[in-house]
Amino acid sequence: MDPLTQGLVGATAAQSGAKKDQLRPATFTGAVSAMIADLDYYIHIPSDPLFNIEIHRQFSHSFIFIPVGALIASFVLWWFLKRYLSFKELYFYSILGYATAGLLDTFTSYGTQLLWPFLDTRFAWNLISVIDPVVTVGLLLLIGLGIYKKEKQYAWFAGGWLIFFLLFGWFQHQRATASVKNLAESRGHQIEELVVKPTIANQRVWRANYIANDIIYADAIRTGLISGIKIYEGQSAPQINIEEDFSDFEGTLMYNDLLRFKRLSENFLVRHPDYPEVIGDARYSMLPTRLTPLWGVKTDTTKTNTHLPFLYFRDASDEVRKEFLRMLLGR
């Protein structure tokens, strides 16, 4: 999730296990420790743009790295908190905070390698958006009250607040998944791969992508509570088959990068409608009904031994915002 929410959840975990007289330094320790895991975002190899995408949410978010990550956080924080906590206490609160980082990100999309290095699978449960202001504000208020009153019962309330939204997300996800399966069946499609995930900052409008007969479909599912389910049918586009479409370049650096991007995108690959040389991740777009990818790699068959550039395509125009708002409000 976003760094602020990540820190607040780490603070919640540390605060819940803190002694009353150590509640404030424990809260700070948990918050910083949880955010340290996301420093992997800054690991780059300039000549290999895909490396940063692969390394993010990898080793630093795995279960096995928790003791190491907490130790790093403890060494960093020791110079600031040694007047308030022993190193043993500091390490304990760091573990509580750092342990939340990988697990929390798993509830969002993109994928987290919790079992690295034993398994390179990216787990993504798609229950909550990477940015959800309602969740964040609730956590901020409850953690703030805990710090102000030096009462860790507020940390339990904060934990309950987060669990409520995760359970609500699971319930909404199940409804959206069932709806898109019914939609595909009504179209006469046999779903081969399916991804359903929340759109930005809410658990009402869900983006559904599925593959059927080498075609990728994008639809929006609005899961209202009183108004029920509303479906906004979206675009479709041919799925890119790397092994077939680029077979002439097998063994080149370009081909290997395409296979890497295929794995990162779970094989949801489409060509950008405005830039045919760009192969994008069909799971992410500014609107849940569109297949204009937010990011992708640019192919150049004249430079097959050079790593592929990784490009972003963001369109936050008034038209896009109004269309998204229309779906969010169920119009």
pTM, rounded to two decimals: 0.95
Asked, for residue 176, whether it belongs to a domain, the answer is: no
Q: Indicate if 157 and 22 belong to the same structural domain.
A: yes
Domain end residue (candidates: 134, 168, 202): 168
Q: Indicate if 104 and 155 belong to the same structural domain.
A: yes
Strands (E), the chain: 193-198, 205-212, 215-223, 229-238, 269-271, 278-281, 295-298, 310-312
Q: Indicate if 57 and 132 belong to the same structural domain.
A: yes
Asked, for residue 177, whether it belongs to a domain, the answer is: no
Distance CA 38, CA 119 (A): 20
Q: Indicate if 301 and 260 belong to the same structural domain.
A: yes
Asked, for residue 175, whether it belongs to a domain, the answer is: no
Q: Indicate if 153 and 192 belong to the same structural domain.
A: no
Asked, for residue 180, whether it belongs to a domain, the answer is: no
Domain end residue (candidates: 168, 196, 229): 168
Q: Indicate if 119 and 213 belong to the same structural domain.
A: no
Distance CA 205, CA 190 (A): 23
How many separate domains does the chain show?
2
Tens digit of pLDDT per residue, the chain (331 long)?
999 999 999 999 999 999 999 999 999 999 999 999 999 999 999 999 999 999 999 999 999 999 999 999 999 999 999 999 999 999 999 999 999 999 999 999 989 999 999 999 999 999 999 999 999 999 999 999 999 999 999 999 999 999 999 999 999 999 999 999 999 999 999 999 999 999 999 999 999 999 999 999 999 999 988 889 999 999 999 999 999 999 999 999 999 999 999 999 999 999 999 999 999 999 999 999 999 999 999 999 999 999 999 999 998 899 999 999 999 999 8
Asked, for residue 124, whether it belongs to a domain, the answer is: yes
- β-pair partners for 270: 280
Indicate the pairing of strand 278-281 with strand 215-223.
unpaired
Q: What is the pLDDT of residue 227?
A: 81
Domain that holds residue 319: 187-328
Q: Indicate if 302 and 227 belong to the same structural domain.
A: yes
Of 5, 43, 197, nearest to 109 (Cα)? 197
Asked, for residue 228, whether it belongs to a domain, the answer is: yes
